[in-house]
Amino acid sequence: MPSSSALSATVQAMLTPGKGLLAADESLPTIGRRFEALAIPSTEENRRAYRELLFTTPGLGETISGAILFDETLRQKTSRGVPMPEVLARQGIVPGIKVDKGTVALPRLEGEKITAGLDGLRDRLTEYRALGARFTKWRAVIAITGLERPTRMCIDDNARALALFAVLSQEAGLVPIVEPEVLMEGDHSLARCAEVTELVLLRVFDALAAHRVVLEEMLLKTGMVLSGDKCPEQAGVSAVAEATLRCLRRTVPAAVPGIVFLSGGQSADVATQHLDAICRAGNAPWTLSFSFGRALQSPALDAWQGSPANVAAAQAALQACAKRNGAALHAGARREV
Ligand code: 5MM
């Protein structure tokens, strides 16, 4: 059993100043949708080639400290026969794995979902660690619809699953990234997003405490507090930064070493502007960083288009995007871990 200091060392590596996480853990349906939008067939070989492109980007380790993989990718090799976790480790990037199995509908709570994947998780975690993973991620999805959604039942069911996932991960010697995502889809206001995010985080940290999760050996992955994408009144960058930090200060214990933001469907540019404003405010008790999926990958995927001839252009796009986000992590947003 790896020691607690091994988990702290992993946390420290993931929170290296000026670096963030690359979320490349799209499940088969999600990567299928991303590829389909560009008319790229979602074959196992195309998915492998795309992830190889991402992970072998020259100099990626200068701005990316960790990468989240999907089960299929963790088991794949590059065209030169190097296992994906190893190719990342050679770049100084910590390999991690998404361990949830996606969402299923909650009975009698129309439109609400719970994340599946606890059955057999203990055994899967042991296998993932042997395959080279050093951290894990589990995403809960919380939708805002009017004043009725999310329900307390949905929030608490997901909080409990997140806590069980986190404590099992720590038991297996893996650093858990706890991700309760409040979706930005909807016509809700910034204030409503803040209210829901605050309640969700309070319930999640209550469940983490009840399940004896070691806060010092986990990371929180959360959305920024935003106006819903269909809200007629869109909050500006400074309002988003202010609301996000106020919400996090009210809910996230200072014992948590780091908070990494998801991009949630924001464009790459807007996500970076928000990250920059949040980090610029400084004075946070946690290290702040990014764990973007779409906001890091979109420029690279658009450049690649599924063609080997475009690999270098796609890698240049990823490297440039990662650098912009690395630059947004100002010194004031960091603390020693
Ligand atoms: C990269 O996408 C991840 C996997 O999503 P699915 O399980 O739905 O296929 C996702 O968990 C991602 O890590 C987070 O949603 C953050 O991604 P964005 O694109 O919001 O930064």
pLDDT in tens, 127-137: 999 999 999 99
**168 ligand 1 Cβ < 6 A:** no
Which ligand 1 atom minimizes the distance to the CA of 102? 7
Query: Could you give the C-alpha distances from 123 to 1, 127, 248, 253, 330, in angstroms and in order?
Result: 14, 6, 33, 30, 40
Per-residue pLDDT of 64-117, as tens digits, reads 999 999 999 999 999 999 999 999 999 999 999 999 999 999 999 999 999 999
Contact 26 CB / ligand 1 (< 6 Å)? yes
Whether residue 221 lies in the annotated active site: yes
Ligand 1 pocket residue status of 132, Cβ below 6 Å = no
Q: What is the pLDDT of residue 332?
A: 46
Residue 16 per-residue DSSP state: -
- Ligand 1 centroid vs 290 CA: distance in angstroms? 13
Q: CA 157, CA 99: separation in Å to the nearest integer?
A: 17
- Give the distance (Å) from ligand 1 centre to CA of residue 23: 7
* Length reported for the chain: 337
Q: What is the mean pLDDT of the chain?
A: 96
pLDDT at 283: 86
Catalytic residue, from 179, 198, 217, 242: name it.
Answer: 179
For the question of residue 98 being annotated catalytic, the response is no
**What is the distance in A from the centroid of ligand 1 to the CA of 262?**
8
Of the pLDDT bands very low, low, confident and very high (cuts 50, 70, 90), residue 1 is low
Of 143-147, 199-203, 281-285, the one with minimum mean pLDDT is 281-285
Q: Is 55 in the pocket of ligand 1 (CB under 6 A)?
A: no
For residue 123, the tally of other CB atoms under 10 A from its CB is 10
CA of 25 to the centre of ligand 1 (A): 7
Cβ of 260 below 6 Å from ligand 1: no
Question: Exposed, middle or buried: residue 232 (CB in 10 Å: 0-12, 13-18, 19+)?
Answer: exposed
What are the start-end ranges of the H helices in the chain? 4-14, 28-36, 44-55, 71-74, 84-90, 121-130, 152-171, 190-210, 237-251, 268-281, 294-304, 311-327
pLDDT in tens, 67-76: 999 999 999 9
Kind of pairing, strands 20-24 and 287-292? parallel
Assess whether the C-beta atom of 219 lies below 6 angstroms from ligand 1. no
pLDDT at 87: 98
**Residue 115 dihedral angles phi and psi, to the nearest 5°:** -85, 135
Residue nearest to atom 5 of ligand 1 (CA): 26
Residue 4 has pLDDT above 80, yes or no: no
Cα(first)–Cα(last) distance of the chain, in Å? Answer: 22
- Tell me how far the alpha carbon of residue 191 lies from the centroid of ligand 1, in angstroms: 24
Residue to mutate (ligand 1; options 36, 50, 98; most atoms within 8 A of CB): 98
pTM given for the model: 0.96
